[in-house]
Amino acid sequence: MSERAIRARARAIASAGGISPALSSGALAPRIDVSLSEGVVLGLLKQGVRKFFAVLGHGNTDIGEILRIYSEEGALRFLHCRNEIAMAHAATALAWIYGETPAVLCSIGPGALQAYAGSLAAASNGVGVYHLYGDETTHGEGYNMQQVVSARQGEFGRLTDILGRSFVLHTPEALRDALRRGTQTVHRPYFAGPFYLCLPINTQPKFIAELNLESLPDRLSVPRTAPADDAVFGKAADLILSSARIAIKAGGGARTAAESVRRLAERIGAAVILSPNSTGVLADAHPLNMHVGGSKGSISGNFAMAEAELLIVIGSRAVCQSDCSGTGYPKVRHVINLNGEIADATHYNRTTALTGDIDAVVARLLDTLGNAARSDATAHASAAWLKECAAQKSKWLALRAERTSAAAVFDAAWDAEILAQPAAVAAVARFAREVGALKVFDAGDVQATGFQVVEDDTPFETVTESGASYMGFAASSLLAAAAADKPRYMIAFSGDGSFIMNPQILIDAAVHKLSAMVVVFDNRRMGAISSLQSAQFGNDFGTNDDVAVDFVAMANAVAGVKGFHGGRTADELREALRAAYAHDGLSVVHVPVYWGEAVIGGMGSYGRWNVGPWVPDVEKLYADQVI
């Protein structure tokens, strides 16, 4: 196939604004002879996939050539990257934050394995992304360089089918089925995930005769659903009306149904416990917002977990740290679970499962409740319950205010007085709020401090990759803003260890003209693990060193990127943030933060976790749970 014909198709699609309008206008013939590589690109474009994050290698030169032509004609956006893990994170962020489905393209072998590792963040958080990997040839002429070395066939297909769904395009004509399965995975309305399309090196350039573009599947679109059985709503309503101490656990799935969560909580008088990723589902100051609960949690969030008798789970997967490894609700005797996934909706014993769309389910539940009232005794007990929760929230807010406004404290590693992490993170969070920036938190103690101190009023003011807690996600995610149709200014909150995991954003940002900020909170250690070791064994080991890194010099070494010293007081940090925000490009702010035994160094832990020496006690408590 000539480049001229390929370019003409790309130009027609770009001019018409997509494949479907190009077909409708006659600018694009409905049946064409194309290579498999071009067929993949056309099929993805038909589903609205227009952004390709890529590292090119010998395993994807053919599809890379198609992408060159289509990008030159404006039919798609091609973003070449420097690390497959980093670009997998950026693609995940583009889908998660901006709602655009991208594709990740990499070569065979190490590149594919790195992208696959990075896709854990998408798989763990229910984010739909296409992953296109080069794969071994189909003729078995001998081992291909960088394939998974084994006598078995299709090893990459077997491997990738674990985290999501996978399809090896062994036969070019199977494209239609592959793309159907792809959209059923990445565009699922509930807990989507990555779809891995393995492209054997030798099948990419092979031709598909008279490919029918009309036959390629459109993006999946399914209607909202709710249970058809009235009786299950009646049972849920009866449980609510007969219960005084009700808690709602709002997980990440509740973010798109925040108004419904608020209406339900206010109607039934429920204390709302947040997950790390659901801050903002209720406004920070809302009286029913008990803040985050879990193994880190908060005074008020964990109190509500410990004392509730009826639990309403909304869009949550009962992750270990979020529900104290199954021990967070010792007094709960029944669960009402609103979730799109049957397995998650039935995780707990004694569950009334209301599967489907959260907004639709809540609407039906509220209709069923109508104007029905609790008995006087139950209503009185419910009012007393909310009063107890309010008292615990006041304690938490007082502690939060104390820790986040603390003055500098002496740190031996820095041989100076510097800010403790809660004060530093809160200062940057307040600045982000003032300028309307999106906050993205990396894994580690910065992440935990973040979800304990942020004061969000709406969902997606903060994104914290708590599903996989993938170090390097936050900084890498910033590239999504360079690709998004409607970008937001983003600030990555990264520990020194997390930033070093994936510093490629320094170059990617310069190449793709990104304006964003990375704040590096540097305690010269993996603070979350050091703290865990100290709590469990009284010593930290193998999680710190005495190597000083000049992050400002590192940033300034890349043209277009500018580094700033964050200072050692709240006022100095604020001035640095202002200067960094004014920079037209990527800015990096380096903030030394305290680590040590002083209580102001962290926000505290309030729950349990089934790790290390705590295992026997936690597992005994879990065995005693009835839900």
Residue 143 has pLDDT above 90, yes or no: no
Residue with tokens 């600018």: 27
Instruction: Say what the pLDDT of residue 341 is.
Output: 92
* 3-state helix vs strand vs coil in the chain, percent to 5: 45, 20, 40
Give dist(CA 375, CA 502) in Å, integer. 57
Q: Report the greatest alpha carbon distance in the chain.
A: 81
Q: Which CATH architecture has domain 230-391?
A: 3-Layer(aba) Sandwich (3.40)
In the structure encoding, which two tokens stand for residue 205, read together?
């350039």
- Sorting pLDDT into bands at 50, 70 and 90, what band is 64? very high
Instruction: Say what the pLDDT of residue 125 is.
Output: 94
Beta partners for residue 493, in sequence order: 441, 519
Task: Identify the CATH number of the domain defined by range 30-215.
Answer: 3.40.50.970
Residue 144 has pLDDT above 90, yes or no: no
Encoded amino acid at 144, one letter: N
In the structure encoding, which two tokens stand for residue 278, read together?
């659901």
Specify the CATH number for 405-596; select among 2.30.42.10, 3.40.50.970, 3.40.50.12160, 3.40.190.10.
3.40.50.970
Choose among 191, 184, 202, 84: nearest CA to 132: 84
Give dist(CA 297, CA 604) in Å, integer. 8
Instruction: Say what the pLDDT of residue 529 is.
Output: 86
Residue 452 has pLDDT above 90, yes or no: yes
Instruction: Say what the pLDDT of residue 562 is.
Output: 98
Same fold, 30-215 and 405-596: yes
Give dist(CA 453, CA 274) in Å, integer. 13
In the structure encoding, which two tokens stand for residue 566, read together?
């964050």
Over residues 173-198, mean pLDDT: 96
Going from the C-alpha of 106 to that of each of 79, 204, 312, the distances in angstroms are 12, 14, 42
Q: At CA 483, angle to CA 482 and CA 489, rounded to 5? A: 40
Residue 104 has pLDDT above 90, yes or no: yes
Residue 151 has pLDDT above 80, yes or no: no
Instruction: Say what the pLDDT of residue 530 is.
Output: 84
pLDDT in tens, 420-438: 999 999 999 999 999 999 9
Residue 1 has pLDDT above 80, yes or no: no
Over residues 288-296, mean pLDDT: 96
pLDDT in tens, 377-388: 999 999 999 999
Instruction: Say what the pLDDT of residue 546 is.
Output: 82
Encoded amino acid at 335, one letter: V
Q: What is the pTM (predicted TM-score) of this model?
A: 0.96
CA dihedral 265, 294, 323, 292 (to 10 degrees): 20
Residue 389: alpha-carbon gap to chain centroid: 29
Residue 84: alpha-carbon gap to chain centroid: 17
Give dist(CA 588, CA 553) in Å, integer. 10
pLDDT in tens, 519-557: 999 998 888 888 888 888 888 888 888 888 999 999 999
Q: List the domain boundaries for the chain.
A: 30-215, 230-391, 405-596
In the structure encoding, which two tokens stand for residue 166, read together?
């996978």
Q: What is the CA radius of gyration of the chain?
A: 26
Instruction: Say what the pLDDT of residue 145 is.
Output: 79
Range in 4-18, 118-132, 551-565, 601-615 with the lowest mean pLDDT: 601-615
Backbone angles phi, psi at 204, to 5 degrees: -55, -45
Instruction: Say what the pLDDT of residue 525 is.
Output: 83
Q: 376-404 and 421-435 are packed helices; what angle lies between their axes, rounded to 10 degrees? A: 100
Over residues 161-172, mean pLDDT: 93
How many residues are given for the chain? 627
- Average pLDDT taken over every residue of the chain: 95
Choose among 62, 121, 84, 20: nearest CA to 504: 84
Instruction: Say what the pLDDT of residue 35 is.
Output: 97
pLDDT in tens, 363-378: 999 999 999 999 999 9
Instruction: Determine how β-strand 103-106 pairs with β-strand 130-135.
Output: parallel
Percent over 90 (pLDDT), the chain = 88
Instruction: Say what the pLDDT of residue 410 is.
Output: 95
Give dist(CA 524, CA 497) in Å, integer. 8
Q: Exposed (0-12), middle (13-18) or buried (19+): which is 185, by Cβ within 10 Å?
A: buried
Give dist(CA 70, CA 13) in Å, integer. 9
Encoded amino acid at 33, one letter: D
Would you say 166 and 232 are in contact if contact means Cβ atoms under 8 Å apart? no
